[in-house]
A and B are shown apart, each in its own frame.
Chain A
Amino acid sequence: MSTLLEVSGVSVSFDGFKAINNLSFQIGAQELRAVIGPNGAGKTTFMDIITSKTRPDEGRISYGDKGLSLLSMSESRIAQAGIGRKFQRPTVFEDQSVADNLMMALRKARGPLRVLMFRPTPADHDRIAELAGEIGLSGMLHRKSGELSHGQKQWLEIGMLLAQEPRLLLVDEPAAGMTPAEREHTTDILREAARTRAVVVVEHDMEFVRRLGCKVTVLHEGSVLAEGSIDHVTKNEKVIDVYLGR
């Protein structure tokens, strides 16, 4: 299996506090990976670095077959290169309808002039309807997304992520605000997505991670504490100490 993303020796500190400490991480082109760790372990910061929201002090990140270095690219270029991200806090454009949110996310040309000339085709509308069905928002396409519940906003953001058709999905706490049934549906969607692309899921909920049934990376104080199957890491002494034993 080819490697899609390789993070090596990355560190970042905020005012002297080392949020990420010599972190290395790899993920294959079709792989599902869960990242767990206590609050403040640096999981979100890790995603910030990959998407260039935060610049690391040192380290390298190479992406894709050609080994692109993400460090010199802007956020929008990185997104165009196929890295999609769902934020911890649901961030959808609340002033706009569900359909508009999805339409913006659809994988199309992103330059101003191309966007200005863009008129959706019936195929685009069908794709949006299909996505809406997948995320359970079919009846809500024309509601403002600000009117959705938090769980529904999470869904919408997952839908936007899928609409982008990224090669690498970074998903930060997707299940917060969801009912058990919805969580199950989320795991299904993520597992399905990982058949054709790489997916990194940050999640606190152990049941959720267990259901994903994938390799788990445990972060602690900005570096990898353990890596392996869920049963393997939950047996790890250090992991029990810092995380599960609390």
Chain B
Amino acid sequence: MSETSLTSGQTRTPLALRFPSVLVFLAMLALFTLGVTILSEGFGIGVISTSFVKTLGKTLCLCLVALAMDLVWGYCGILSLGHMAFFGLGGYAIGMWLMYERTRLIVVDSLAASELPPTAQEISDGIATQIFGVVGASEFPPVWAFAHSLPIQLAFVVLIPGLLAFVFGWLAFRSRVTGVYLSILTQAMTLALSLYLFQNDSGLRGNNGLSGLQNLPGLDAVPQATVSLWFFWGSAFALGAGYLLCAWIVSGKFGSVIRAIRDDEARVRFLGYPVEAFKLFIFTLTAVIAGIAGALYYPQAGIINPTEIAPIASIYLAVWVAIGGRGRLYGAVIGAAFVSLLSTWFTGGQAPDINLGFYTIQWVNWWTVLLGLSFVAVTLFAPKGIGGLVDIIADRTSPNRHGADLGPDPGALREKEADK
């Protein structure tokens, strides 16, 4: 994102023109979507398999959550290592309805054969037994109270991550928890959540999680080749809309303020900005974006379980953004797409093993090591990530004047001394 500022006369220029990268991004996304559609099995010539369409659709969702991560970390400086919890919660929220409704249709179907028309209680019991049999329960836990209602569960996709982020953020930011401590707290949050969900009596089927999410209730006749494209389009649309929203947020004075908070939050306070309120706003907003991304991701994955919310997932998210280049929106998208697709390739067993004679490097095991090393290398040698290449191409480097004298007179401090 080129952060050129506004001059008089440019006030009314549309966002897209002030930020050509937004236009370029949206155009590329549209082309990509069109290309995949044409090559797909569902609507096109069938060069790309349905499962690969799903992989691409999921990747778009990961790009969206990476965008959220970039906003909260790259722009606002809050290294949240818990945003995949919000992503997972979004997935659970939509997954509950998908699972409930599909099971209900099956149960109603099977009970229709009986002589007496089934009572509502019988249907409900039937659904509960179907869903919770694996965890040895046959009653609906309270959290499923609204699982029958698509609108309510859709609202939960944004409300639950948003509310959790708001409460967590309010507590953390109000006590001025920052830096490493905040990162650790967010890790603790996502760990606690996943441990809780692992329990069978959490009401969300413990480690079994929710499954069969790829089947849309009542649309059994529609082949997966088609459904996969619906979700692919939905994901592409969400990513495009998310990108526009983020670009709008970071383009104006609000963007200025959050980048200033990232660089020197104390100074921002002395300008009169309520730093905590800004952080809370961004933290909550990005949690909502993550929830939406998750709600689009898991129907394509077909299954969600508490492993998805494990602390490591959020760490990966930070790694993607770091490798892609934080502090620029397209960097986050590039990082998430590049690393997650590469990861699919390596861990899927497609990457050729390397035989060193005395040892064979099997990528399925060594990929994580490679990823870890790349992360360290990027942090040390290319802090701007892949997105930094754009600066090199566009020749946008700036001189560094750190460490010089504060002033020519003998009483003047060196910058280091004045630092305290």
- Over the window 91-122 of chain A, the binary record of Cβ atoms lying under 8 Å from chain B Cβ atoms (1 yes, 0 no) is 10111110110011100001111011011111
- Segment 239-287 of B: residues with Cβ below 8 Å from A: 249, 252-254, 256-257, 259-260, 263-264, 266-267, 269-275, 277-278, 281
From B5, B259, B269, residue with most partner A Cβ within 10 Å: B5
Residues in A with CB closer than 8 Å to B399 are 147
Name the residue of chain A whose CB is nearest to the CB of B419.
A89
- Over the window 75-88 of chain A, the binary record of Cβ atoms lying under 8 Å from chain B Cβ atoms (1 yes, 0 no) is 11001100011011
CB-based contact A80/B278 at 8 Å:
no
CB-based contact B272/A147 at 8 Å:
no
A113 to B275, CA, bound (A): 13
Count A-B pairs with CB separation below 8 Å. 143
* B367 nearest CB across to chain A (Å): 34
- Over the window 118-159 of chain A, the binary record of Cβ atoms lying under 8 Å from chain B Cβ atoms (1 yes, 0 no) is 111110011001000000000001101011111100000000
CB-based contact A96/B256 at 8 Å:
yes
CB-based contact A120/B277 at 8 Å:
no
* Chain B binder among A175-183, A210-218, A225-233: A175-183
Q: Is B112 an interface residue (CB 8 A)?
A: no
CB-based contact B398/A146 at 8 Å:
yes
Contact A79-B398, Cβ < 8 Å, known A89-B413, A104-B256, A111-B274: no
Residues in A with CB closer than 8 Å to B4 are 97, 142
Contact A75-B269, Cβ < 8 Å, known A89-B419, A120-B253, A142-B7: yes
B contact residues, range: 35 or more
CB-based contact B257/A104 at 8 Å:
yes
Contact A89-B406, Cβ < 8 Å, known A94-B263, A110-B273: yes
Picked from B264, B270, B407, the residue with its CB within 8 Å of the CB of A85 is B270
Contact A120-B6, Cβ < 8 Å, known A79-B271, A111-B274: yes
Q: Is A11 an interface residue (CB 8 A)?
A: no
Residues in B with CB closer than 8 Å to A197 are none
CB-based contact A150/B406 at 8 Å:
yes
Residues in B with CB closer than 8 Å to A196 are none
Residues in B with CB closer than 8 Å to A204 are 411
Name the residue of chain A whose CB is nearest to the CB of B10.
A125
Q: Is A187 an interface residue (CB 8 A)?
A: no
Q: Is B412 an interface residue (CB 8 A)?
A: yes
CB-based contact A147/B409 at 8 Å:
no
CB-based contact B272/A76 at 8 Å:
yes
A146 to B405, CA, bound (A): 15
Contact A103-B253, Cβ < 8 Å, known A80-B272, A91-B264: yes
Q: Is B415 an interface residue (CB 8 A)?
A: yes
Residues in A with CB closer than 8 Å to B418 are 88-89
Q: Is A192 an interface residue (CB 8 A)?
A: no
* B334 nearest CB across to chain A (Å): 21
Residues in A with CB closer than 8 Å to B253 are 103-104, 115, 118, 120
Q: Is A18 an interface residue (CB 8 A)?
A: no
CB-based contact B271/A160 at 8 Å:
yes
B-side interface residues toward A, CB under 8 Å? 3-8, 11, 249, 252-254, 256-257, 259-260, 263-264, 266-267, 269-275, 277-278, 281, 398-401, 404-409, 411-413, 415, 418-419
The 5 closest A-B pairs by CB, nearest first: A177-B407, A79-B272, A125-B8, A176-B407, A89-B418
Q: List 27 A-B contacts (CB under 8 A).
A: A75-B269, A76-B272, A76-B274, A79-B271, A88-B413, A90-B406, A91-B264, A91-B267, A93-B263, A93-B264, A94-B263, A95-B263, A97-B4, A105-B271, A112-B254, A115-B254, A119-B252, A120-B11, A120-B253, A122-B11, A141-B5, A141-B7, A142-B4, A146-B398, A150-B401, A150-B406, A205-B409
Q: Name 19 extra pairs, CB < 8 A, besides A76-B274, A120-B253, A121-B11.
A: A51-B270, A53-B266, A74-B269, A75-B266, A75-B270, A76-B272, A84-B270, A96-B256, A99-B7, A100-B3, A100-B5, A112-B254, A118-B252, A118-B254, A142-B5, A147-B399, A149-B401, A177-B405, A177-B407
